Every structure is written in C-alpha cells, then in structure tokens.
Amino acid sequence: MKTNLNYAVFGLGRYGKAVAKEFVDCGAEVLAVDNDEEVVNAASVEIPYCKCADVTDPEVIKQLGISNMDVVVISMASALEASVMATMLCKEAGVGTVIVKCSSEMNCKILSKVGADQVVLPESESGIRLAKNLLSSGFMDIIELSRDVSMVELSVRPEWEGKTLIELSLRKKYGINVVAITQGKDVSTNINPEDPLSGAMKLIVIGNTAKLNKLK
C-alpha cells in the first residue's frame, strides 16, 4: 500500500499557495504550478518545486509528470475554462483525486461533470453554510484535502480577541495557515494580518489534521 502520496497544486494565488505550503510543512513532496513567472519566483522561496507552465496544454501535463500524482488541487477559480481543461487532463492522465476550487455553485456543477472528485467553494456564503455543522468546541471540518491535511473553520478563542494574526503567530505556533475570515454572512479572503480579531469572527484555516485536532 502506498504511504507517501504525490501532490500537485495548480494556481498559486492565496488559496493555492496556502495549500502548497501546508503540504510542504507536513513533509510531503508537492509540485506547484502557475502560469505567471513572477508568482512562481515568489512562491519558490517557500515551495521547493515550483514550475511556470500552462496546465491546459496536454504536452505540459505529460512533461510535468502529472500521471504520477495521487492528488491534484486546482486553484484557478477565476478561469473556468482553464480549470475545466486542467481537470479533464488530470483525470485523463490517471490522477486519483482531483480537487478543484470554484467561484460559483454553477461552476462547481460544471467541474464535477467533467471529472472533479471534489469541489471547493471557500468564498461562497452557501459553501460556508454547508459546513456549519459545528462541534461543541466551535471547530469543524470543511474539507479533507488529503489524509493528512484538512481545511477547517475555527472559532476565535477568547484569548485571541483584540489581537492580530501577526501577534498570534498561528502558523509558527500551530502550523496553520489562515486563508479566509468569516463574520456573519461575510467571507473575506483579503486578510490584513494587522487587523485585530473579534469574537464574532471565524477563521478558515488549512493545516495538518493531527495538529488541528489538538486545537479542539
């Protein structure tokens, strides 16, 4: 039985980069790909295997060795056509699990139809609402990205109120990356780490599942 899975992340915006960094932090080998050379160069500081490439090109998919990947996370929500093509090429290449970030429920339906094994709608109110099955701890799973990495919603603890993300150093202390903050029906992915947190907020974070369980 295969224990060390191979991962790839297509698209290195805030969400894609956070996922790729978390895989790296968990000791997994991950191939990160984006079609913007500046973005790739910036990400390569924290992610060892970064490539600038067009993942909608079948030849590029072959050259990157995507057929050897067990899990591919496609984070190009603003480009539906590119997401569809990349999803189809990954499934044709034999990738076991393809997870795709979407920008709308309609896009989720389209991507599911073309082969996506799992679709993620992190910026959608309805996507957040679907995940509102809170445990008594105020901690809940939104999605398991792999056996070791999960994306969860975390309540702001009383001792965190009034403090900024910089002050809390959650990444350093707990190994988690904050990718969005929700407050009521509002979901923000444009996070200012210098803004103080309030008890009404919830943090959408990505991290090692075992470490996240310790936060319960």
- Same domain assignment for residues 101 and 148: no
- Same domain assignment for residues 32 and 85: yes
- Same domain assignment for residues 108 and 154: no
HEC string of the chain equals CCCCCCEEEECCCHHHHHHHHHHHHCCCCEEEEECCHHHHHHHCCCCCEEEECCCCCHHHHHHCCHHHCCEEEECCCCCHHHHHHHHHHHHHCCCCEEEEECCCHHHHHHHHHCCCCEEECCCCHHHHHHCCCCCCCCEEEEEECCCCEEEEEEECCHHHCCCCHHHHCHHHHHCEEEEEEEECCEEECCCCCCCCCCCCEEEEEEEEHHHHHCCC
DSSP state of 77: T
Locate 93 and state its tokens.
């290449």
- Same domain assignment for residues 140 and 205: yes
> Nearest Cα to 75, choosing from 99, 51, 50?
99
Expressed as residue numbers, the domain containing 201 is: 126-213
- Same domain assignment for residues 99 and 140: no
Digitized pLDDT (tens) for each residue of the chain, 216 residues in all: 344 678 999 999 888 888 888 888 878 889 999 999 999 999 999 999 999 999 999 999 999 999 999 889 999 878 888 999 999 999 999 998 898 988 888 888 889 888 899 888 765 433 233 333 222 234 444 555 656 777 777 889 899 999 999 999 888 888 888 877 888 767 676 788 899 999 999 888 877 777 777 776
Domain-located, residue 1: no
Using alpha carbons only, what angle is made at residue 84 by residues 124 and 147, rounded to the nearest 5 degrees? 65
The domain that holds 117 is classified in CATH as 3.40.50.720
- DSSP, collapsed to helix, strand or coil, labels residue 112 as helix
- Same domain assignment for residues 26 and 105: yes
**Residue that is last in its domain, among 80, 106, 121:** 121
Number of structural domains (the chain) is 2
- Same domain assignment for residues 112 and 37: yes
- Same domain assignment for residues 116 and 152: no
Put simply, whether the predicted model's pTM sits higher than 0.75 gets the answer: no
Instruction: Indicate the Cα dihedral angle 128, 129, 130, 132, nearest 10°.
Output: 90
Domain-located, residue 2: no
Domain-located, residue 52: yes
**Residue that is last in its domain, among 64, 98, 121:** 121
- Same domain assignment for residues 90 and 164: no
Answer yes or no: are the C-beta atoms of 87 and 100 closer than 8 Å.
yes
- Same domain assignment for residues 79 and 142: no
What H or E segment, with its residue span, contains residue 173?
Answer: helix 170-174
**HSE, side-chain direction, 13 A CA sphere, residue 99:** 22
**Residue that is last in its domain, among 74, 105, 121:** 121
Contacts (Cβ under 8 Å, ≥6 apart) of 170: 176, 178, 203, 205
The pLDDT assigned to 79 comes to 84
